[in-house]
Chains A and B, each alone.
Chain A
């Protein structure tokens, strides 16, 4: 039947060396089922229970406690529990104190040897300490005990040996056979088992010696030789050894001529007794009182047993040839005894070297020369070198010469070091200088490297306006749409600035009723441009008048203007002033078509050039309406609003089919004159009605000068003039292009100058009548420098500068 297992029993525990211990148990019955055994233990009186750490090492049914689990000062309470499927059973607890269970294994390697000296026989007993479980060498100190007895007797004689692992037994009976055993113990615990037995026969005092053996014969210089032998046991009596030899082909037996020179158990053959190319037959005889014994014969031909001494006088020399790398020369001398001079013995040499810390030797065969050049050693390292030699024919290698140390001088590298030092010093110097400079002039350096972004400097901009104004107003104020004429200026609201020569009114195409076509033409040409044409509006306006009108608010924004005007004291005044000037008229033709420019002449109404002025709102409208427009610079002139006759914007819309015309600014006199034509859709009144000239100053002139001087002139011939770029003085020329958007118009007097500077920086539309167009651009004006430019910068805004932004 099956039942719970029987109670296991702990057989024993023991420790080999008090650092580890093992326990073995005997299982009880297993109850018919597979049973598991677990060992539990606790230490001293602690409660915690541990399980056996190692069930394997000591075999089945055992538990091994290794160093980590063994504490000699604690008492272990150990129980074994047998468990099977049904139940379990525990053994009785066993209290184990490690120190009390220490019991080493028996010593090993027991050896016996007899020794005879002076008629007495001694017995040498030697052994080894027991090995440890893990195979490591046993460093514990054991106490040993030895016992011996005669083979037939019963009683043992026990001798305490101490901690030695050998012992000399003195009192021995000759001719008897002894049995010896030994055991050991640690400082705590029990004695080990006795080792296995060893037997030895003590020889009788009377036995002949054992046979000696000849070890070797050698000749150091091929002129003499020596033989050595090893004696056997001497049989208890002092033994004599004699060496006998005979030569090949001779019967004569000789005895060794010299037993001393070469030491004990040797025979030295001097030159006289050495023959070459003959075979010696050598034997050694051991003789004592009991008899003698002869060794086996040894045949030797001296020619082949040459083994020289090592070379001597090993010297090193460092050679430093010019222009070549230094090298070491190693020289040595053959051993002193070897007669190399006569050629009798020819030696070959071999050297070996290794770095001091290295492991392997590098062996180099040198041949028969006695020097060697070494090129490939590492500077600064230490090497060990040795040499040995051998006869060039049959024979053996000598011993290695004593070690010679080579220290490779590091001055090989002096040159390199110097270079590196110089480089290092120079670079650190440079770094220092640079950092110093940075510190001192950090700012400036930074300024040089990263120049500050310049802020916009625009003369004539009313910052106030800018701050407060709305974009549209700004745009409108700029008015000078298309001033920097761009290729797609069409978008820009092109406002023509008709610059009319005071005498001439050619500029004003529309003015010319009689030449509508022309105008149209002109316009047409100018269609796409808002280049410059319209842009002129604002700046051109200003001239002296504007100066006076300086107070005028920034043109840009009509409301502002208005305000300004108010500020200044009434638009009226302004206007009047400006108007009054007459010279400044900004002709403003806006074109309806593509650009929002006001077609100057285009106006369906054929209206005379109208002033392009409009209220801000108008401006806005204008801008808005035109498809791609740039707002015409604007004009201001809101105040004229009340004069409804300037629905410029509307007209513009309607009319636009053409680009605006650029009015050339005619610079009259010293001022750019821009005739502002007032567009009036429904008003046919001469545009130049002064009253009607509520031009707005569209332009902000960048420069001080009033950009545009309008001369109001009615003229019909203007148109032609139009076409002629720059030819007539009537046109104001652009004096310079400023800030790439602003054309500075030059007053008549300045025309020449101005004309030059046409390049409309910006996209002036070339459509404009060619050069004129550009010039037109130029009309935007910024009054030429010479021209008066009093108008404060703030008042004038160069629309051109704004122009691109509109796009």
Chain B
């Protein structure tokens, strides 16, 4: 996976230990890293049946929206002081993600899908951990 190079916590303890800003950063980076490959995938796989194509399109839209949402939340958190402003904020993650995403041409389709599944799971887990770390009272 093109995102394998990212140093991400691969366990619960690690995910709970790293600072929130870093976690947030990672999330955004991941999300950003998939933006390009997804659109690339959609463009190059027009031969797929229509429902698959529409599903793929839907997924890339969701990823985009998720990213936007996380960005907003991050800014809000930063403004509220929940997380610090270090680590260059949103922009840096975006840039890092983009660079990663550009390298994603080589993957085969099965790898692509496999990697995407894994990374979306990662993002989901990190987000949940983050949520419970920031707002523990909310069904955590």
Contacts and interface: CB of A to CB of B under 8 A. Distances in A.
Contacts of A346: 128
A548 B106 CA distance: 152
A624 to B, nearest CB: 114
A277 B128 contact: no
Interface string A344-358: 101000000000000
A271 B11 contact: yes
Contacts of B133: 342
B121 A303 contact: yes
Interface string B113-140: 0000010011011001101110010011
Contacts of B118: 277, 301, 303
B78 interface: no
Chain B contact residues: helix, strand, loop or mixed: helix
A344 B15 contact: yes
Contacts of B15: 344
B12 interface: yes
A394 B121 contact: yes
Interface in A292-309: 301, 303
B84 interface: no
A691 B10 CA distance: 154
A619 to B, nearest CB: 118
Residue with the greatest number of chain B CB neighbours at <10 A, chosen from A222, A339, A344: A344
B122 to A, nearest CB: 6
Given A303-B121, A342-B129, A343-B128, A222 B12 contact: yes
A639 interface: no
A278 B131 CA distance: 24
B8 A223 contact: no
Contacts of A394: 121
Contacts of B122: 277
Most B CB atoms within 10 A — which of A271, A274, A340, A342?
A: A342
**Is chain A's interface secondary structure helix, strand, loop, or mixed overall?**
loop
Contacts of B132: 341-343
B88 interface: no
A627 B140 CA distance: 118
Given A249-B4, A341-B132, A342-B129, A271 B13 contact: yes
B131 A343 contact: yes
A135 B128 CA distance: 61
Interface residues of A, number: 21
Interface string A525-563: 000000000000000000000000000000000000000
B16 interface: yes
A301 B114 CA distance: 11
Interface string A201-223: 00000000000000000000011
B2 to A, nearest CB: 13
A271 B16 CA distance: 14
Contact of A223 (B11, B124, B125): B11
Nearest to A272: B11
Contacts of B128: 343-344, 346
A278 B10 contact: yes
Contacts of B121: 277, 303, 393-394
A441 B129 CA distance: 90
Contacts of A276: 10-11, 125
B11 A342 contact: no
Which of B121, B122, B124 has the most chain A CB atoms closer than 10 A to its own CB?
A: B121
A394 B133 CA distance: 23
Contacts of A340: 140
Given A393-B124, A394-B121, A342 B12 contact: yes
B117 to A, nearest CB: 8
A274 B11 CA distance: 8
Given A303-B121, A343-B132, A344-B129, A223 B12 contact: yes
Contact of A342 (B4, B10, B124, B140): B140
B10 A343 contact: no
Contacts, number: 47
Contacts of A368: 139
A301 B122 CA distance: 13
A277 B12 contact: no
Nearest to B125: A344
B8 A277 contact: yes
Interface string B1-38: 00010001011110110000000000000000000000
A233 interface: no
A69 to B, nearest CB: 69
Given A303-B121, A393-B121, A344 B12 contact: yes
A390 to B, nearest CB: 15
A275 interface: yes
A222 B125 CA distance: 11
A301 B132 CA distance: 25
A731 B138 CA distance: 117
Contacts of A275: 10-11
Contacts of B140: 340-343
Given A301-B118, A341-B140, A277 B129 contact: no
B10 A339 contact: no
Q: Looking at A343, A346, A368, which has the most chain B CB atoms within 10 Å of its CB?
A: A343
B35 to A, nearest CB: 20
A235 to B, nearest CB: 39
Contacts of A223: 11-12
A74 to B, nearest CB: 78
Contacts of B12: 222-223, 339, 342, 344
B81 to A, nearest CB: 22
A300 B128 CA distance: 23
Contacts of A301: 118
B46 to A, nearest CB: 29
A339 B118 CA distance: 21
Nearest to B4: A249
Nearest to B129: A343
Interface string A50-74: 0000000000000000000000000
A276 B132 CA distance: 20
A338 to B, nearest CB: 11
In this complex, the member of A223, A277, A339, A346 whose beta carbon has the largest number of chain B beta carbons within 10 angstroms is A277
A277 B121 CA distance: 8
A345 to B, nearest CB: 8
Interface in B72-119: 118
Contacts of B4: 249
Contacts of B16: 342
A357 B24 CA distance: 54
Q: Of B4, B12, B129, B131, which is in contact with the most chain A CB atoms at under 10 Å from its CB?
A: B12
Contacts of B131: 343
Contacts of A277: 8, 10, 118, 121-122
A340 to B, nearest CB: 8
The residue in B11, B15, B118 that gathers the most chain A C-beta atoms within 10 A of its C-beta is B11
Nearest to B119: A277
Interface string B54-69: 0000000000000000
A263 to B, nearest CB: 25
Contacts of A222: 12
Nearest to A221: B12
A789 to B, nearest CB: 112
A393 B124 CA distance: 9
A225 to B, nearest CB: 12
In the A-B complex, the 9 residue pairs with the closest CB atoms: A343-B128, A343-B132, A344-B12, A275-B10, A276-B10, A277-B118, A342-B132, A341-B140, A343-B129
Interface of B: 4, 8, 10-13, 15-16, 118, 121-122, 124-125, 128-129, 131-133, 136, 139-140
8 contacts: A277-B122, A278-B10, A303-B118, A342-B129, A343-B132, A343-B140, A344-B125, A344-B129
Interface of A: 222-223, 249, 271, 274-278, 301, 303, 339-344, 346, 368, 393-394
Given A271-B13, A277-B121, A340-B140, 8 more contacts: A223-B11, A271-B11, A339-B12, A341-B140, A342-B12, A342-B132, A342-B133, A344-B125
